[in-house]
Amino acid sequence: MPLTDKEKEPKDLINQLSVMIKTAQLHHTDNIAVINAIKKFSDILSPIVSEGEAALELVGEFFHLNGSRIRYSMEYVFNYDFLVREFRKNELGSITFTNVLHEDEIKSLLAALISADHSDIPFETLQEAAKNIKNISIGKLRKIAQESDELNRKKIIKRNYFNTVSLVKNISNKISMGEKTNLKKAKRLMEIIADQIVENESLLISMTTLKDYDEYTYYHSVNVCILSLSLGHRLGLSRKVLTELGLSAVLHDIGKIEVPKEILNKPSEFSEEEWRIVRKHPTWGAWAILKIQGINPSSMNAAVSAFEHHLYYDLSGYPKIKGKIILDLFSKIITIADQYDAMTSSRVYSRMPQPPDKALSIMVERSGTQLDPYFLKIFINMIGVYPIGTLVMLDTNELGLVFESSTNPDFIDRPRVIVLVDSTGKNVKYTVDMMEKDDKGNFKRNILKTLDPNQYKINLAEYLL
Ligand SMILES: [Fe+2]
Ligand SMILES: [Fe+2]
């Protein structure tokens, strides 16, 4: 059957490469299932290679083809993640196809990959086995993080986080005083954060466990910005669009400057009259943005998502609008990030924040009504079954905090955990990977249940950062 144009997208190349490797792991390379998989792969690869070489590279969590990032598509998510794992396991950073391939050349590549799977020095084995394949060359995975690099990167990320908090504070103060403000610096910061998302998604997401009771709105705006950018990145938005998204996200609640402090900081429930005022912040926000920025593409984007961020996917939220509209892309993304951060933060007017996994399950109930179901799926995949910051009780009697979500899609319920209390009840601090197995091949630890970190008075940020 001839392939349609749609089937020839780079994401299909990833998918078919993944299918082909999986098939070859199960059958001999002469098996008809493998031959068919090879043929399909060649059909997708040939038109790409005939225009020049095809360099497939793993950068952080994502594949790039000839320098452009390949869209992370939901329909292929498991095959995409399988291939990421396969590359990492073999310390493989890139495969470059320099010409239209013969079936035997692909067979040799598959055989080389399989020999590496069983080796203690996987990349060297792979390199040796693949060195005589004519039109294929491979490269080693670039080690991104040395320990000191890692520390430096954490420092830079933290600095940017707090710079963004001060920036939001600054913009808010200026607007309150009726001064004009230039968003150039804000855009530059968004560019930097958008770049960091590519290499350090986990670290940035763990920053969003920083919550501040007194300056809730500022921290919340930055957290919503980071979560929106991660989601936008996974949706395949370009760097330029991400910068705009970040700016819109950081300004989404700017209208709250018009809400009297006594109302915003009220520790008990709002009265009907107070709600009426709070519900005006989207409209006030849209006006404020247009007032400081005038009308240009960036200010329009930001004003639209400020206006729409509580309107919801089914338009059942506020402000009430006449007629049917389709929610803006940014609004849909920001609504999801906003709800997650708001629920997991200790807002003054919500007494108890929700633990992260509880917040996600509440959001799942809103899928298709308040929240875009497709975007929500990707968001949950990004945050994990046990999101960063979840307090977990293990079957070893250890108590710990999730600090890194699982990257293995077959085991998204097996994150990495900082153990805080050991099986004897002693306060400790060491990390464990829920993927670790004992000599018999059984998992060493299993998560029994999640607990609410707020009830244990645990400061997440202190442990995670
Ligand atoms: Fe809001
Ligand atoms: Fe918000």
The confidence band for 351, taking pLDDT boundaries of 50, 70 and 90, is low
For the CA of 345, the nearest ligand = 2
pLDDT at 217 over 90: no
* Helix, strand, coil distribution of the chain in percent, nearest 5: 55, 10, 35
Helix ranges (H only) for 92-146 are 103-117, 122-130
Task: Give residue 319 CA to ligand 2 midpoint distance, Å.
Answer: 14
User: What is the model's pLDDT at position 284?
Assistant: 95
Task: Give residue 386 CA to ligand 2 midpoint distance, Å.
Answer: 23
Distance separating alpha carbons of residues 222 and 219, to the nearest angstrom: 5
Q: What 3-state class would DSSP assign to 409?
A: helix
Of the two residues 150 and 189, the one the predictor is more confident about is 189
User: What is the model's pLDDT at position 348?
Assistant: 58
364 with 457, same domain: the answer is: no
User: What is the model's pLDDT at position 203?
Assistant: 80
The confidence band for 309, taking pLDDT boundaries of 50, 70 and 90, is very high
Task: Give residue 322 CA to ligand 2 midpoint distance, Å.
Answer: 23
pLDDT at 445 over 50: yes
User: What is the model's pLDDT at position 288?
Assistant: 92
pLDDT at 360 over 70: yes
CB 291 within 8 A of CB 299: no
The confidence band for 3, taking pLDDT boundaries of 50, 70 and 90, is very low
Q: Half-sphere exposure of residue 277, counting CA atoms within 13 Å on the CB side?
A: 13
165 with 31, same domain: the answer is: no
Enclosing domain of residue 441: 391-464
Question: Average pLDDT for residues 3-12, to the nearest whole number?
Answer: 66
Question: Average pLDDT for residues 391-412, to the nearest whole number?
Answer: 83
User: What is the model's pLDDT at position 87?
Assistant: 92
Distance separating alpha carbons of residues 281 and 285, to the nearest angstrom: 6
333 with 431, same domain: the answer is: no
122 with 193, same domain: the answer is: no
Question: Average pLDDT for residues 274-280, to the nearest whole number?
Answer: 94
Q: Of 360, 383, 406, which closes a domain?
A: 383
pLDDT at 356 over 70: yes
96 with 58, same domain: the answer is: yes
Task: Give residue 338 CA to ligand 1 midpoint distance, Å.
Answer: 7
pLDDT at 349 over 50: no
Ramachandran angles phi, psi of 391, nearest 5°:
-90, 125
Q: What 3-state class would DSSP assign to 247?
A: helix
Q: Of 383, 414, 430, which closes a domain?
A: 383
For the CA of 339, the nearest ligand = 2
- Residues 80-123 pLDDT 10s: 888 988 998 888 999 999 888 889 999 999 999 998 888 888 89
pLDDT at 463 over 90: no
What percent of the chain has pLDDT above 70? 92
Ramachandran angles phi, psi of 285, nearest 5°:
-65, -45
Counting the structural domains of the chain, the total is 3
For the CA of 217, the nearest ligand = 2
Task: Give residue 156 CA to ligand 2 midpoint distance, Å.
Answer: 25
For the CA of 168, the nearest ligand = 2
Put the strands of the sheet holding 399-404 in their side by side order.
427-433, 416-421, 399-404, 391-394, 447-451
Neighbours of ion ligand 2 (CB under 5 A): 253, 338
- Residues 369-387 pLDDT 10s: 999 999 999 999 888 878 7
Distance separating alpha carbons of residues 278 and 187, to the nearest angstrom: 28
| CATH code at position 328 | 1.10.3210.10
151 with 295, same domain: the answer is: yes
Task: Give residue 122 CA to ligand 1 midpoint distance, Å.
Answer: 50
Task: Give residue 218 CA to ligand 1 midpoint distance, Å.
Answer: 12
129 with 177, same domain: the answer is: no
User: What is the model's pLDDT at position 460?
Assistant: 67
104 with 162, same domain: the answer is: no
Task: Give residue 253 CA to ligand 1 midpoint distance, Å.
Answer: 5
The confidence band for 59, taking pLDDT boundaries of 50, 70 and 90, is confident
166 with 39, same domain: the answer is: no
Mean pLDDT value across the chain:
87
336 with 256, same domain: the answer is: yes
For the CA of 341, the nearest ligand = 2
51 with 154, same domain: the answer is: no
Task: Give residue 238 CA to ligand 2 midpoint distance, Å.
Answer: 24
User: What is the model's pLDDT at position 6?
Assistant: 47
For the CA of 334, the nearest ligand = 2
82 with 193, same domain: the answer is: no
Among the residue ranges 14-28, 41-55, 145-159, 394-408, the one predicted with the least confidence is: 145-159
Task: Give residue 285 CA to ligand 1 midpoint distance, Å.
Answer: 9
Which pTM value belongs to this model?
0.67
Q: Which of 185, 258, 231 is nearest to 371 (CA)?
A: 231
Q: Of 115, 140, 165, which closes a domain?
A: 140
pLDDT at 290 over 70: yes
Task: Give residue 323 CA to ligand 2 midpoint distance, Å.
Answer: 25
The confidence band for 1, taking pLDDT boundaries of 50, 70 and 90, is very low
